[in-house]
Amino acid sequence: MADEKVLIGIIGGSGLYHVDNLTFVKSVNPETPWGHPSSPITIAALPSGTQIAFLTRHGVGHSINPSSVPSRANLAALKSLGVRAIIAFSAVGSLREEISPGSFVIPTQIIDRTKGIRPASFFEGTSIVAHAMFGDPFSNKLVKWLEGRVQKALDAEGRGVKLFTDKTIVCMEGPQFSTRAESIMYRQWGGDLINMSVLPEAKLAREAELSYALIATATDYDSWRPQSDAVTAAEVFKTLKANADTSRLVAATVLDDLQAALTNDEASIFLEEVGGMKFSIMPRSVKQKAEDRQKLAFILPEYFTGEEGHHAGSA
Ligand SMILES: CSC[C@H]1O[C@H](OP(=O)(O)O)[C@H](O)[C@@H]1O
Ligand SMILES: Nc1ncnc2[nH]cnc12
């Protein structure tokens, strides 16, 4: 059982440091060309025996700030275990009145307000150039599949927690929260939510051909409401525990349904991105260094292992 393929990865955000109803199998800490992940990865089994991988984004004891999360190592490590689809959780601020704290949201779009200080590409610093498609930053099929499962879990919980879909999340740099003027501007831009973590995670998932979706849990109204206090960490913490408890229930439901999905036609949902980088990598040239190809083979062995079988090698 310990050597089974682990197809699904869960990334836990603020407040979500473990998931329930799973049997611990082992803890692993793979070294990747981008270093070690935020924390050792827990491999755990569903009652059916299907294994999943759980990684906590901010490290053990929440010691890594959002700008320093080693996202390349996180995604590369998960992929090295066999993971092909990632369900990530995040505590977010709400930019819309109707998305009250405690609500769950599965977004479909992202506005990038990070400031270029986070390495956001596996190709950065190498002699190989690639341009991944990112118009739909989350995996459409995985998002659609999750929407039904998360709704079912929230209905079963019976506390009336609302689920919103088709929303836009702004990812800001942090660690400070936004000013009131920024918060109002994000609303004018069409932002519905705000966090500090979805990027570069989603970009790197795309480059690594991993299906990726976010389950966002609203903790606060950020700082756009004229009559309310601006968001503070204390306000976020108030909702964090309840949201994390509900997230664990949601994860349990999703993972239960996963077994059925894996054994029927739906399995392709979790493999949606496979092959997606094939035409994103610039044709091979003499300028591409062997050591860079070897490094990238860690996440994309199909394109960078050996001399053949690589679109980018056929120039
Ligand atoms: C604790 S408030 C700000 C912090 O919370 C969110 O973390 P995560 O996405 O890992 O749940 C947000 O992105 C910020 O990093
Ligand atoms: N208001 C906010 N801004 C950025 N990240 C957050 N995470 C939770 N609330 C947030």
For the segment 172-179, the average pLDDT, to the nearest whole number, is 97
pLDDT band with cut points at 50, 70 and 90 for residue 259? confident
At 157, the amino acid letter reads E
Evaluate: CB of 195 within 6 angstroms of ligand 2. yes
Summarised one tens digit per residue, pLDDT across range 227-246 is: 999 999 999 999 999 999 99
Question: Coil, strand or helix: which one is 12?
Answer: strand
Phi-psi region of 89 (alpha: psi -120 to 50; beta: other; left: phi over 0): beta
Question: Coil, strand or helix: which one is 181?
Answer: helix
Per-residue model confidence (pLDDT) at position 270: 84
Residue 307 has pLDDT above 90, yes or no: no
Q: Do the Cβ atoms of 30 and 37 come closer than 8 Å?
A: yes
For the segment 82-103, the average pLDDT, to the nearest whole number, is 97
What ipTM was estimated for this complex? 0.99
- 141/115 Cα distance (integer angstroms): 30
Q: Do the Cβ atoms of 130 and 294 come closer than 8 Å?
A: no
For the segment 179-185, the average pLDDT, to the nearest whole number, is 98
Summarised one tens digit per residue, pLDDT across range 11-56 is: 999 999 988 888 999 999 999 999 999 999 999 998 888 899 999 9
Residue 78 has pLDDT above 60, yes or no: yes
- CA 236 to centroid of ligand 1, rounded, Å: 9
In the numeric block, the tokens 């702004």 are attached to 170
Percentage, residues of the chain above pLDDT 90: 82
Q: Do the Cβ atoms of 30 and 105 come closer than 8 Å?
A: no
- 36/88 Cα distance (integer angstroms): 19
pLDDT band with cut points at 50, 70 and 90 for residue 69? very high
- 114/122 Cα distance (integer angstroms): 17
Residue 312 has pLDDT above 70, yes or no: no
Evaluate: CB of 66 within 6 angstroms of ligand 1. yes
Planar angle of CA 75, 77, 79, nearest 5 degrees: 70
Question: Coil, strand or helix: which one is 60?
Answer: coil
For the segment 101-124, the average pLDDT, to the nearest whole number, is 97
Per-residue model confidence (pLDDT) at position 4: 64
Annotated catalytic residue 265: no
Rounded to the nearest integer, the mean pLDDT of the chain is 92
Ligand 2 test: best mutation among 95, 172, 199, 222, most atoms within 8 Å of CB? Answer: 222
Per-residue model confidence (pLDDT) at position 58: 97
- 80/75 Cα distance (integer angstroms): 9
